[in-house]
Amino acid sequence: MFLLLPRASSSLRCSIRSLSTTSLRLSDQQIKVPITLIASLRKEFPVPLAQAREALEKSNLDLKSALDYLKNSSASSDNAEKKAAKVSGRSTDEGVISISLLGGKRVGMIHLGCETDFVARNQVFLKTAKDISETTAFLDVPSEDDHPHPVEIDLNKKSDPILNFPTESLLSAPLISLPSDPTSNDNGGSNSNTSSHPISSSAEAQTIKQSLLSSLTQTGENLKLLRATSFAAPFPSKPEIRFVPSGYAHGGSNDKQGKVGGIVVLAVESIDQEKPIATLIHGPNGDKLETDLNELARTVSRQVVGFPTKIIEKQDRPFENDEILYEQPFMMKGDSRSVKEVLQEWGNERGVSVRVVGMRRWSVSEELDQPAVDGAENTT
């Protein structure tokens, strides 16, 4: 015996067909994600193309929902560790040299590596590099027993005042994020990141390693802190000598981050032994002298970056003149005379002696397995 079911009405059949057609159209829309939308999402949250496409598909092409999806999927610490392990073997030939100058007394420089130039130009990556360089400048370099190095500089022994910061120690340090200085000029003015702004750790209380993991989940690339170095002026300072650090980077969006970076330290003493440099700085026209010294230090750091500088002065080892800072024409001051001659004249005009006692020049493209030349092997 057969049971005959009533046939669906024509209006119901049309509704079903319409619903099926709509579902197919939505499915097609989800698959065909506009490349412009992918680009917009990756600009806000840099992830691989496939990940951006997946987020937009799951969010029905809604950019805000896709951003929320990516942030939520990146939040898990276990997920970040797994991603880091997955990409750890990839090369980090791209990246940025990031420099931070604190209050005219400290300077830090780091080399943060990544896989592609796309990520090297991304704001998430650059912000991470900036925070790490600020932390490097702020913290004292630990000694072999993990205690901070005493800030002592003996120029008679020609010791290097710029210290290499062990990356392993830095990775476990709390991340220091400094407020932006509205008076600074990222395109060539003062490169002092902070003067009056308070220094505080980031609101998330992250270590540098945790910050890198967070950035890795957003970029999808292997990120590696390749090297770090810093200088801190002695405290308390001696009235007879003043150390003036500075730094400059080229090949980026501002003068603190780029493909090539350099930092220098000047040692300044008064020619008149009756009036030590501290007296000159705190005396009449002292503010102008200090401003001139900071600008001079910045110009010298630009000179270091602008030439293939490897050493400060001539030594027994063979170097070309364009690799020796003191022998280079001081092009950054528009002078054909050597850097050494110009510094001597500049100091005589102001009653001071100026020497470059520390220097580093790094490039993203250079081989890191070759022993670096110490820029402070050094001065007379």
pLDDT of 135 reads 96
pLDDT tens-digit readout, 193-214:
444 444 444 444 578 998 898 8
pLDDT of 203 reads 42
Q: What's the whole-number mean pLDDT along residues 108-112?
A: 98
**Residue 235 binned pLDDT confidence (cut-offs 50, 70, 90):** confident
pLDDT of 316 reads 79
**Residue 187 binned pLDDT confidence (cut-offs 50, 70, 90):** very low
Q: What's the whole-number mean pLDDT along residues 346-356?
A: 96
Q: Which of 47-56, 299-308, 311-320 has the highest mean pLDDT?
A: 299-308
- State pTM to two decimals: 0.75
pLDDT tens-digit readout, 239-254:
999 999 999 999 999 9
Least confident of 70-74, 306-310, 346-350: 70-74
Least confident of 133-142, 189-198, 260-269: 189-198
Q: When comparing pLDDT for 170 and 198, which is higher? A: 170
Q: What's the whole-number mean pLDDT along residues 249-262?
A: 97
pLDDT of 376 reads 45
pLDDT of 194 reads 44
Give the CATH fold of the 86-144+151-177+205-363 domain.
Tetrahydropterin Synthase; Chain A (3.30.479)
- Return mean pLDDT, the chain: 82
Tell me: pLDDT of 131 over 60. Answer: yes
pLDDT of 155 reads 63
pLDDT of 147 reads 57
**Residue 9 binned pLDDT confidence (cut-offs 50, 70, 90):** low
pLDDT of 306 reads 97
Percentage of the chain beyond pLDDT 70 is 75
Q: When comparing pLDDT for 109 and 237, which is higher? A: 109
pLDDT of 369 reads 64
pLDDT of 192 reads 47
Locate the domains of the chain by residue range. 35-75, 86-144+151-177+205-363
Q: What does R_g of the chain's alpha carbons equal in angstroms?
A: 28
Tell me: pLDDT of 258 over 90. Answer: yes
Closest listed residue to residue 229, CA positions, set 299, 85, 132? 132
Tell me: pLDDT of 25 over 70. Answer: no
SS (H, E, C) the chain: CCCCCCCCCHHHHHHHHHHHHHHHHHHHHHHCCCHHHHHHHHHHCCCCHHHHHHHHHHCCCCHHHHHHHHHHHHCCHHHHHHHHHHHCCCCCCEEEEEEEEECCCEEEEEEEEECCHHHHCCHHHHHHHHHHHHHHHHCCCECCCCCECCCCCCHHHCCCCCEECCHHHHHCCECEECCCCCCCCCCCCCCCCECCCCCEECCCCCEHHHHHHHHHHHHCCCCEEEEEEEEECCCCCCCCCEEEEEEEEECCCECCEECEEEEEEEEEEECCCCCCHHHHHCCCCHHHHHHHHHHHHHHHHHHHHHCCCCECCCCCCCCCHHHEHHHCECHHHCCCCEHHHHHHHHHHHHCEEEEEEEEEEEECCCCCCCCCCCCCCCCC
Q: What's the whole-number mean pLDDT along residues 28-44?
A: 78
| Cβ atoms of residues 223 and 215 within 8 Å | yes
pLDDT of 327 reads 95
